[in-house]
Amino acid sequence: MTRRVAVIGGGSSGLACIKSCLDEGLEPVCYESSDDIGGLWRFKENPEPDRASIYHSVIINTSKEMMCFSDFPIPANFPNYMHNSLIMEYFRMYADHFQLTKHIRFNTKVLQVRQRSDFSHSGQWDVETENKDGKTEKHIFDAVMICIGHHCHPNLPLHDFPGIDTFEGTYFHSRDYKTPEEWRNKKAVVIGIGNSGGDIAVELSRVTKQLYLSTRRGAWILNRVGDNGFPLDLHLNRVLDFLQLILPFGVFSGLGERQLNQRFDHALYNLKPKHRLFSQHPTVNDELPNRILSGTVQVKPNIRRLQGSSVEFDDGSVVEDVDLVVFATGYRFSFPFLASHVTSVSGNKASLYKYVFPPELERPTLAIIGLVQPLGAIMPISEMQARWATRVFKGCTKRPPVASMLKDVQCKQETMAKRYVSSQRHTIQVDYLHYMDEIAGLLGVRPNIPRLLLTDPRLGLKVMFGPSTPYQYRLKGPGKWAGARQAIFTQWERVAQPMQTRPCDDPKSKRSFMWPLVLSAAVVGWAAYVNRNNLPTALLDKMKVYLPAQ
C-alpha cells in the first residue's frame, strides 16, 4: 500500500517535499491555507494573518545558480538576482514541469496534527483541516512534513521601547511595509539592520526628508556583486570551506573583515559591530554605503525612548517630528497545530535532530522542513532535507539511537552559542555548504571529490574549485539526475547570458614589436656584459661604447 504523506505549506519547501515524495513513490497531499503557491515569495498588497509577507521591491540576495532546485536549473535568461515576481515564475515552472499542483489542496488550513492511538506501532497521524467554507475534515496519514517556514509571526518588542504608546506618528513591523511613496518628504526611523531593515531604509531614503537607521550592534555589510562583477556567492566553494575549518576563527573572520573594509570602512560609516564577521548573520546590501555617503541615511544607536513625535537615541541625540517608525525586528516561529510534547518551541528554539526530526519521537514519521537560517539559499537546503526525510519515511535510511540524536542537538546548540551573538535570529543558523554536505552524507549523495578527480578530472576540479551549486548533489545516489554533470559544466554560461544584452566586442589591439625588441636588446646586452671576456676582440671593441666602464 502506498504511504500517504501530509505536506503542510505550499511554499518553496512544500513544493520540494511534494516532488521528493513523488520521487520515492509516496503519495503527497499538500495543504495550503492560501489560494496559491509561493509562500514567502508571493507578494500581496494586504498581509494575511499568520502568513509571511514581503514588500513590492524585494530582490533575493542569493544568485540563481545557488538557489535553484538541484534538478531544475533556473532559465539562462533570468537575471542572477531575481525579483520576487521572477522567483514566483520559476516556482510555477517547477510545479508545472513535475506536475505538483494537482497534489495541493488550496484554501485549506491545518487545525491539528495529532498522533494516532497506535502511533508507537503504526507511526500514523490524524490531521484535521478546515476549508474556506469552514468545513472541517479528518484524515489519516503515514507521515507529516511541516513546511510553514519561520517568517510567519512578526516579533514586535514594543516593551523595549519606552514611550511607544505616546508616539504620535505611525509605527508597524516590516512585514506591513509595501511601498515608499506615502512617506515622501517625511522623517522615518527604521529599527534593525538585517536584510529587511537595510533594504527598507535604502528604499525609503529615496523619498523621505531624512531616514534614520537605528541599530544596537551594527553589522558587517556584504555586496551582491563580487570580484570581477560575478555574484558574490559563486565565490563560496569547497576550498574556502576547507580554509574555514583549518584556520582559527579569528584569523578567518579577520581576512573577511579586511576585504569588506576595502570596499568601505565600517568604522567610518558607524556600522562596525563589536562581534566578528562570522558571529552574526551578515547583511547583504549594495546601496546602503552610498545612501550613508550621500547623507540620506544616518546611522544611529538604539532608541532610548519615544515621546510624542520625538525619538531619543542612546547617545543622547534627539530627532524631532518623526512621522514613521518601522520595526525590522525579525520573526518568531511556532507550530500551533502540534502538541507541545511532540516538539516544543521556546525562545525561538526547537530541539530537532539535524534541524528536521524530533529526536524523542517513537517513530520517525514527522519532519520539519526549511526551519534553518543559512548563509546562502534556503531552497536547496529544504530540498535536501525533503529528500532525506522521505528516505527515512520509507525505511531506506535509519536514524541513530535517541541518545546520539540528543547529543548531536546539544552539540549544535553549544557550537551556535559559542560562535554567534545572543539573538533569537541565531537559533537556527547553519553554514550552507557544511550543512548540505552533512545531510547529503546521510542520504548518500555527497560528492566524492577524490574519486571524481580520478574518474572524471574535469568534473572533479569544477566541483572542488567552482561554486558549490546544488547540482553537485545529483551526481550519484538516490535521486541521481542524468543532467547534473552538464548543468555544472554550463553554470557559468547561465550566469553570463542575462547580461549579454548588447554587442560588446573587445577593441583589437595593434600588435607592437617595441617591447619585444626592447626586452631582446636588454637580454642580449646583459648576456654580452656577463660573457664579455669570451667575446671576439673585434666585436668587443665595437660594443665597448655601450658597456659600463670598469
- 138 and 180 part of one domain: no
- 255 and 126 part of one domain: no
pLDDT of residue 509 exceeding 60, the answer is no
- Residue 360 covered by a domain: yes
Mean pLDDT score of the chain, rounded to an integer?
91
pLDDT of residue 117 exceeding 70, the answer is yes
- 278 and 386 part of one domain: no
Of 55-59, 276-280, 287-291, where does mean pLDDT reach its minimum? 276-280
Considering 310, 329, 348, which residue would you say is the last residue of a domain? 329
% pLDDT > 90, the chain: 77
- 162 and 146 part of one domain: no
pLDDT of residue 528: 56
Q: Which residue(s) pair with 188 in the sheet?
A: 211, 324
Helices (H), 268-397: 288-293, 379-394
State the average pLDDT over residues 123-127. 97
Rounded Cα distance, 113 and 64, in Å: 35
pLDDT of residue 510: 58
- 228 and 136 part of one domain: no
- Residue 477 covered by a domain: no
Which domain does 179 fall in, by range?
156-329
Please report which helix (H) or strand (E) contains residue 408, including its range: helix 402-419
Q: 3-class DSSP state for residue 497? A: helix
* End-to-end C-alpha distance for the chain, whole angstroms: 100
Residues in the chain: 550
pLDDT of residue 505: 75
pLDDT tens digits for range 4-20: 999 999 999 999 999 99
pLDDT of residue 323 exceeding 70, the answer is yes
CATH label of the domain that carries residue 389: 3.50.50.60
pLDDT of residue 424: 67
* 111-118 own/partner pairs: CB under 8 Å, 24+ apart: 111/136, 111/337, 112/337, 113/6, 113/8, 113/144, 113/146, 113/337, 113/338, 113/342, 113/366, 114/339, 115/339, 115/342, 116/140
Q: How sure is the predictor about 105, in pLDDT bands with cuts at 50, 70 and 90?
A: very high
- Residue 226 covered by a domain: yes
Place of cell 570580484: 227
Number of domains in the chain: 2
> Contact at 8 Å (CB) between 196 and 40?
no
Considering 295, 329, 363, which residue would you say is the last residue of a domain? 329
pLDDT of residue 519: 61
- 269 and 350 part of one domain: no
- Residue 455 covered by a domain: no
State the average pLDDT over residues 254-267. 95
pLDDT tens digits for range 414-427: 888 888 877 766 67
- 358 and 317 part of one domain: no
- Residue 543 covered by a domain: no
pLDDT of residue 210 exceeding 70, the answer is yes
In this structure, what is the dihedral angle of CA atoms 285, 492, 278, 272, given to the nearest 10 degrees? -30
- Residue 31 covered by a domain: yes
Q: How sure is the predictor about 124, in pLDDT bands with cuts at 50, 70 and 90?
A: very high
- 74 and 57 part of one domain: yes
- 66 and 175 part of one domain: no
Rounded Cα distance, 420 and 4, in Å: 40
pLDDT tens digits for range 526-550: 555 555 666 555 545 555 555 555 4
- 134 and 24 part of one domain: yes
State the average pLDDT over residues 114-124. 95
- 24 and 86 part of one domain: yes
- 342 and 314 part of one domain: no
Q: How sure is the predictor about 46, in pLDDT bands with cuts at 50, 70 and 90?
A: confident
- Residue 139 covered by a domain: yes
pLDDT of residue 314: 96
> Contact at 8 Å (CB) between 291 and 297?
yes
Considering 266, 298, 329, which residue would you say is the last residue of a domain? 329
For the record, the C-alpha cell of 79 comes out as 537575471
- Residue 138 covered by a domain: yes
